[in-house]
Structure 1
Amino acid sequence: MATTLEVQKRETKPHSNITAIRNAGRIPGVIYGYKAENVPVSVDALTFIKAVRDNGRNSVFSVTIDGAKLNVLLHDYQTDALKGDIEHIDLLAVDMSEEVEATVNISLVGESKGVKLSGVLQQVLYDLTVATTPDKLPEVVEVDITNLDIGDAITVADLAKNADYTVITDGEEVIATVSAPRSADEPETTSSAVTEPEAIHGSEGNADK
């Protein structure tokens, strides 16, 4: 079941309205896609961030516009480069019976053979593009690295097939590798600790409509 997200329609002119919306603790955005054509909206910033953190980046949210209910995905967003605040969101209205493409985070699980032998684990790829119906979008794809030995690599093509979604990312893309341990006089250039920098992961969104 989709999580309800309250949105309000907004005026697009004058441009100063955007500043007023942000000063009021709201995030300007736009809804487009299935049964929606570039509808300018705004959402309460704190409510939106909590909803995404509680339900996941790829969750389906239910919104109401002009009395009509729509199911939407967080398709993209922009952040302030200095403050890190979300400045704009793109909400994609979807047909729950039709496939969509979305970005899904990769999570490495297990301890590799190579790391146990003092090898250095490096995660090269942090997300995948997958295609599936909105209700089956995974929040994360777990990649088991238990059998990854020194000198080995896991590519997208090595991932097991999943009945819920199809991976679109090029199969030759390398996800993770384990390199030989460094000699004592070799400078450290990489770390075996792999972290994902953001709680809400995505690329820059579109400009205000």
Structure 2
Amino acid sequence: MSAVQSVSAELRDRAGKGAARATRRAGRVPAVIYGDKKEPTLITLDPKEIDRHIHKKGFFATLLDVEVGGTKHRVLPRDVQFDVVTDRTLHVDFQRVSKDTKIHVNVPVVVRNEAAAPGLKRGGVLNIVRHEIEFICSPDSIPQMIEVDLTGLEVGASVHISSVNVPAGATPAIRDRDFTVITIAAPSALKSEAEEAQSAAATAAAAPAAGAAAPAKGAAPAAAPAKGGDKKK
């Protein structure tokens, strides 16, 4: 489970696009806290403080205590809007959570021990199929990350969710199949060698059959059978 981070906030009294623009002009980031069967709470955030959290890996799987006017709200980040030109943070959505809440959360995948993978040493290409995995869990059971150990993996190997160490209390949202998390693909050079070898093997296998079908060079053609069979004299 990831540690709970603290964020300070201030209340804002108005909603709407005009109020949000006024908040940004004042140097703050508008945000909202919703959920847990309570009324939404409109807040503003210090841009430097919230950006430090937003740009950390696994932000959407991080529990936050947002303190507003002496009251702490345990929340999970749900959405962040950015300016398409400046990448400035424009708005943040938080969901209130309690210990009994079941939530869907995307947890980042972290690869370990790349140097211990023989397949990578031979030039294999690491393909991270899923950079994040969606889990269903309670707030207290959110994994900080999912680690995939590459030790001993050869070219062509793949790691599926069934062989990944999933923390207790967390269940993959995809339950109907053993999906792939990472693979080690063959590099182009090895693929070319394999294709050439297959082609050569196919040619060699076809050659004897072709030779048996053709008559020997210089051999007399086979005599045609007599029409009507032998006649008695």
TM > 0.5:
yes
Normalized against structure 1, the TM-score is what? 0.75
Partner of 2:229: none
Match of 2:38, as an amino acid?
Answer: A
The one of 76, 85, 90 aligned to 2:88: 85
How many percent of aligned residue pairs carry the same amino acid?
26
Select between 55-64 and 107-116 the one with higher mean Cα deviation.
55-64
Which stretches in structure 2 are left out of the alignment for 5+ residues? 193-233
Q: Which has the higher helix share?
A: 2
Which stretches in structure 1 are left out of the alignment for 5+ residues? 187-209
Select between 128-137 and 162-171 the one with higher mean Cα deviation.
162-171
Q: Which has the higher strand share?
A: 1
1:180 to 1:59, Cα distance in 2 relative to 1, 3 A: closer
Deviation at 1:132, TM superposition (A): 2.2
Partner of 1:151: 156
Q: Does 1:124 align with 2:129?
A: yes
Alignment of 1:46-195 (within 5 A): 46-51=48-53, 57=59, 58-65=61-68, 68-111=71-114, 112-169=117-174, 171-183=177-189
Report which of the two structures shows the higher radius of gyration computed on alpha carbons: 2
Match of 1:71, as an amino acid?
Answer: R
Normalized against structure 2, the TM-score is what? 0.68
CA distance in 2, matches of 1:27, 1:169: 35
1:131 to 1:73, Cα distance in 2 relative to 1, 3 A: same
Query: Is the contact made by 2:34 and 2:95 (CA closer than 8 Å) also made in structure 1?
Result: yes
Query: Is the contact made by 2:146 and 2:166 (CA closer than 8 Å) also made in structure 1?
Result: no
1:126-149: CA deviation from partner (whole Å, max 9, x where unpaired): 001112221331222111122322
Aligned positions, number: 185
Deviation at 1:25, TM superposition (A): 2.4
Partner of 1:4: 6
Partner of 2:197: none
1:55 to 1:36, Cα distance in 2 relative to 1, 3 A: farther
